[in-house]
Amino acid sequence: MNIYTFKDEEGFVQTAANQITSLLNANPYAKLGLATGSTPVGLYNKLIEMHRQGLVSFANATTYNLDEYVGLPKDHAESYRTFMNEKLFNHIDINKEQTHIPNGNAEDLEDECRSYDRMLEQNGPIDIQLLGIGHNGHIAFNEPAESLTSGTHITTLQAKTREANARFFPSIDDVPTHAITMGVGSIMKARQIMMLIRGEDKAEIAKRALTGPVSTDCPASLLQCHPNVIVLLDQGAGRYFK
């Protein structure tokens, strides 16, 4: 694992953006694994800026998102499809047909999970998978548990996760109870993983995930077993990594 901490926001987002733009400039057909949450927003803004400056094109790229809420209409303000369109896709030259997000409204959700895995299997591996981390150590929506699921699956969101995400909804009761998520096995198949962690409130979980025991109690700790992981921490989250 290569772990870097940044004193300034600019260095953090520029380094993250460079990982993606240099990949795309070397291979315009690169497959990007994308994430939602507040953490990658600065990176997405930087990618939009670099695209506008003519420094990168996404015209031939394909993207795969990690997860989606179950039961939120596709165009709901807080669906991950809306998030990705508004935060990134609407502002770059990507072909939207090449952007994939699990369908949380599929009539047959189990079938949707199988199709998403089939697609990843046929088109993969993902060249770079972007990840954030939940306060409980979740990656995508793989919550801490006695055992983890390898492939795409339906998951019940833990109270802590719903509370953390309630800030985006009118009230906690509006936060979906379930999500469809790529599994840890699919995530670990990516050629490279770039994890972004920011904020003092993530310092403890960053330490646990990156230096603690590898355990399904902290799904992000499994990344310690991946051969090609880069972790970028801002000053707050990187308190233990100075």
Catalytic positions are 67, 136, 138, 143
Q: What is the nearest approach in angstroms of ligand GLP to the Cβ of residue 143?
A: 9
**Should residue 161 be labelled a site residue for ligand GLP when binding is judged by CB under 6 A?**
yes
Instruction: Return d(Cα 131, Cα 164) in angstroms, integer.
Output: 17
**What are the DSSP calls for 130-163, one per residue?**
EE---TTS-BTTB---SS--SS-EEEEPPHHHHH
Burial class of residue 16 in the structure, from the number of CB atoms within 10 Å of its CB (0-12 exposed, 13-18 middle, 19+ buried): buried
Instruction: Select from 8-16, 29-37, 87-95, 120-128 the region that touches ligand GLP (CB under 6 A).
Output: 29-37
**Should residue 38 be labelled a site residue for ligand GLP when binding is judged by CB under 6 A?**
yes
Instruction: Select from 6-14, 23-31, 32-40, 213-221 the region that touches ligand GLP (CB under 6 A).
Output: 32-40
Contact characters 58-97, ligand GLP, x per CB under 6 A:
--------xx------------------------------
Residues of span 121-150 touching ligand GLP by CB under 6 A: 132-134, 140-141
**Should residue 37 be labelled a site residue for ligand GLP when binding is judged by CB under 6 A?**
yes
Instruction: Return d(Cα 136, Cα 160) in angstroms, integer.
Output: 7
Alpha carbon separation from 76 to 67, 167, 172, 235 (Å, rounded): 15, 15, 16, 34
Hey, how many other C-beta atoms are within 10 angstroms of the C-beta on 112? 20
Q: What is the nearest approach in angstroms of ligand GLP to the Cβ of residue 14?
A: 19
Instruction: Return d(Cα 204, Cα 213) in angstroms, integer.
Output: 14
Summarize as ranges the residues that interact with ligand GLP (CB under 6 A): 35-39, 66-67, 132-134, 140-141, 161, 165
